[in-house]
Structure 1
């Protein structure tokens, strides 16, 4: 099986549906916990960056170390698929900006894509991205214009969380308790299924481009 490096930033925010995608494609996810000081060597290997409850501009010391590591990987031409905090780190590394929103965007949210598609996705963030120079905006929501962007053929950032399946939501709710704004009770199976179908197609496209 081929390997793919994935950077996790918090114990309750694992790969979720990305693991299901990887397994069905014969890929082994090599998971590194950046919050525990775990990062692979700087290289041009494709990588996935997950989210986390930290400020990308002024986070803990290990986040600064990750930004330096990411800059090195980008200098070597690494393809990146980045989600939430990961997308903010990617934007900062490419010359963009991250700023605080007027209010937090949470729960199931309709996101409109440049091709006219509308998808209901899960959100939990209070920061927004100002795109790096030359980046292409791919999706927006009513509250946050920068929901998805592409910076070159194989560097993609998402502010929303397509990797959060029903199990992910249950884990986050258990970990954060009353602080979590995510849905509780019976999972919305149809919504999760639609997001997973989108995630599979999007990751397939990214992975094929990353390996050209």
Structure 2
């Protein structure tokens, strides 16, 4: 049986859709709780797949959240060994930082809501090709420079680096393709303060957009994630 370790930062940002994708492929899944578990003891090379999930902190906030340093070290080891790795939102930012790129508040502002990606030619030829034209969820205020040697796969007007690949077995996604409409109800509670304080964003608007777009992303997102897992974990 293949194994997956998912590094989680907050309880409501879990694998969600990706958990079903992995279960269908007979993966044994284990969550590591970044704020609570000793990440210095994590064997970053042992699992067949590592997933670094999202969260409401900055990838550069180690002065406030010291666990980020051993987490970065684990990501660095995984990348150096060319072992299958996917980073989602904060996870993608940590991957970028581990590869030497700068992570910083997005000068174009916060991106919170549903909108489509613009895929690069490399993105169209990748597993992300199935997302062409589909709205995905964005929930971030930070961005990152494209790491040296990485391949940009997708962008939006607000965030030029929405997705990148590193080698053949590492994928960083700033956006969320792993969400379900049902799972997002937990986000709406966990992020209530952020929603109410973000100009131009309301919970009724988010719910309406989620009802429209989540059924599509649950289908094409699962297909994209499954294709990528099949390619890198065969």
TM-score (norm 1): 0.90
The whole-number CA distance in structure 1 between the counterparts of 2:44 and 2:17 is: 26
Task: Work out the CA distance in 2 between the residues paired with 1:44 and 1:119.
Answer: 35
Q: Structure 1 65/173 Cα, relative in aligned 2: closer, same or farther at 3 Å?
A: same
Give the structure with the higher percent helix: 2
Which residue is 2:232 aligned to?
210
Q: 1:187 to 1:131 in 2, by over 3 A?
A: closer
Change (3 A) 1:38 1:204: farther
Give the conservation status (yes or no) of the 8 Å contact 2:9–2:55.
yes
The answer as to whether partners of 1:17 and 1:163 remain within 8 angstroms in 2 is: yes
Q: How many residues align?
A: 212
Which of residues 138, 162, 166 in structure 2 aligns to 1:147? 162
Partners of 1:38 and 1:12 in 2: how far apart? 20
Corresponding residue for residue 91 of structure 1: 96
Question: In structure 1, what is the Cα distance between the partners aligned to 2:222 and 2:188?
Answer: 25
More strand by share: 1
Name the CA distance, whole Å, in 1 between partners of 2:191 and 2:117. Answer: 25
Distance (Å, rounded) in 1 between the aligned partners of 2:202 and 2:187: 8
Once residues 119 and 132 of structure 1 are traced to their aligned partners in structure 2, the CA distance between those partners, rounded to angstroms, is 26
- Larger deviation, residues 60-69 vs 170-179: 170-179
Any stretches of 5+ residues in structure 2 without a counterpart? 196-200
Contact 2:79/2:170, CA 8 A, preserved across alignment = no
| Secondary structure of residue in 1 paired with 2:176 | coil
Q: Is there any run of 5+ residues in structure 1 with no aligned partner, and where?
A: none
The residue aligned with 1:200 is 222
TM-score by length of 2: 0.82
